[in-house]
Chains A and B, each alone.
Chain A
Amino acid sequence: MKLQSLASAIEQHVADGACVALEGFTHLIPFAAGHEIIRQGRRNLHLVRMTPDLVYDQLIGMGCASRLTFSWGGNPGVGSLHRLRDAVEHRWPVALELDEHTHAGMAAAYCAGAARLPFGLLRGYIGTDLVAANPRIRGVTCPYTGERLTAVPAINPDVTILHAQRADQQGNVAIHGIVGAQREAALAARALVVTVEEIVERLPPAMNGIVLPHWVVSAVVHCPGGAYPAYTQGYYARDNTFYQRWDAIARERAGFRAWMERHVLGSRDHAGFMASLREAA
């Protein structure tokens, strides 16, 4: 059993300059882990995530990242990610190199990564300027039909970090609800850290709930509420009000810094972060 504290798991598995994927498609976003990366002051990370969401807005705004692989960078249903925009438009706080894709392209790249194939294949990126903007998106000819198809390089993060409902004592991980590309991102990575709501003696029988078997899991962290303000199906709902409030919090540099200093840098761990939000409410 590799049960670890969040601080020690991040310390051990996320180095400066590493390629890091925090996955979870709206559901199960590992916010607590993202905050711990910020607390530990990691720099020069290559962040990978289909939908950067608020967690990458925070990491980027705090200067942790120099490169971003992504396919949709907004605040869902609300608008812009202001810190991501500031980094791209004004290189603040540091320049951010973009490796930009479509959802279908990133899904294919994760699948290839999980299978340790060199590239993902799809009939995609048709008629889009993304092909000119990103030289990593290339064409390949089908050896059977001669059709030109699109290739995207496999994604193999140094570490993938997920949040999940449960793990058992051996480190097997169960996920249910919207699963995004979590399984593919997990199996594509060299190391896998999973924060969970609960650690149980034995996982409830669920033939098709995603189970990441213990030998692909590098570390399990018990971290209740670790997806907040995203959600964990069966535990708590998405805090849509917080997502709406984030627009104002992150709009200006000073206000963003102050919020991060008070709530993330000013708290020791995720429980402290949640307590500081309750105090401010």
Chain B
Amino acid sequence: MTHYTRDEMMTVAAARLLWDRCVCFVGIGLPSAACNLARLTHAPDIVLIYESGTIGTRPEVLPLSIGDGELADTAACVVPLPEIFSYYLQAGRVDVGFLGAAQIDRHGNLNSTVIGAYDSPATRLPGAGGAPEIAAHARQTFVMLKATPRSFVARLDFRTSAGFLEGYGARGRTTARGGGPRAVITDFGMLVPEPESQELQLGALFPDATVDEARAAVGWPLKVAASIESIPPPSPPELETLRALHARTREAHSRPVHVPA
């Protein structure tokens, strides 16, 4: 079998969750790689939206920021930022939101604001950006986050974006229109919400990962679904497409920039 990294497995597993023609609000980093891998493999007509206002973008290389010129150059259209958030996201025109975070709890709530107290943080993180409204209004969200007991925590230091709040239907009693997290893709596999409690439980494992590894990486007593799916390893075309995308990206980002004097 071809060797692959856990990052590659995460990206491939996330890409497979997307379907052709779905409208997807993309975050930077692993989600951006996953969404573009889907577009370059099984979902050629996926509509990728970046929060900079680029709709239906088809970047040749992965952007470093959510507003690289590459995204505008290859977009079907570029709209003002207030429009993307109010007329598209808030209006319910986004199928999938992809989110990352520094911390996640057992109900899929996310922290990307601070570690420690808000007024005297140990670590000040970048903050919310588009995440709280993506989490609220995309019809469903996928979360990508590497698992350590510091990131998968029993209690968030700060709740930036709502997952299922306290679970048991708490989210449904808010004005959030979207359905919340459908899957969390992490180093060992995927967590999915248990329908009633809405607590994240182990639903799928990567080929070389174990239940014990998953339990050790999660900071709450992790429940395991009645049947655990085994996620197939990356196929050769998936791996080849992803690596070529990363290689093109590295080359493009190291190209010198000429600025007119």
Residues on A lying within 8 angstroms of B by beta carbon are 25-27, 50-51, 70-74, 76-78, 80-81, 84-85, 88-89, 100-104, 107-108, 110-111, 122-130, 133, 147-149, 177-181, 183-184, 197, 224-225, 228-229, 231, 233, 235-244, 271, 274
Contacts and interface: CB of A to CB of B under 8 A. Distances in A.
Contacts of B64: 76-78, 238, 240, 243-244
Contact of B82 (A73, A84, A108, A243): A108
B241 to A, nearest CB: 21
18 contacts: A26-B65, A27-B67, A27-B69, A72-B130, A74-B127, A77-B65, A78-B64, A89-B123, A101-B128, A102-B129, A102-B133, A103-B51, A103-B129, A104-B85, A124-B136, A129-B158, A130-B132, A233-B72
Contacts of A149: 175
A72 B124 contact: no
Interface stretch (B15-23, B227-235, B251-259): B251-259
A196 B206 CA distance: 52
Contacts of B128: 71-72, 100-103, 128, 130
A180 B82 CA distance: 8
A78 B28 CA distance: 10
A236 B85 contact: no
Contacts of B109: 127
B118 A129 contact: yes
B66 interface: yes
Q: Is the interface of B mostly helix, strand, loop or mixed?
A: loop
Contact of A177 (B78, B118, B160): B78
B180 to A, nearest CB: 10
Given A26-B66, A26-B67, A103-B130, 12 more contacts: A25-B81, A77-B65, A100-B127, A100-B128, A122-B86, A127-B136, A127-B161, A129-B113, A224-B261, A228-B257, A236-B257, A236-B259
B65 A103 contact: no
Contacts of B162: 126-128
Contacts, number: 209
Interface of B: 28-29, 51-54, 63-69, 71-73, 78, 80-82, 85-86, 89-90, 109, 113, 118, 121-133, 136-137, 158-162, 165, 171, 174-177, 253-261
Given A107-B85, A238-B68, A73 B260 contact: no
A191 B161 CA distance: 35
Contact of B81 (A70, A107, A124): A107
Q: Which of B54, B118, B123, B254 has the most CB of A within 10 A?
A: B118
Q: Which of A77, A127, A129, A149 has the most CB of B within 10 A?
A: A127
Contact of A104 (B121, B124, B133): B133
Contacts of B122: 89
B82 A111 contact: yes
Nearest to B53: A178
A239 B257 contact: yes
A26 to B, nearest CB: 3
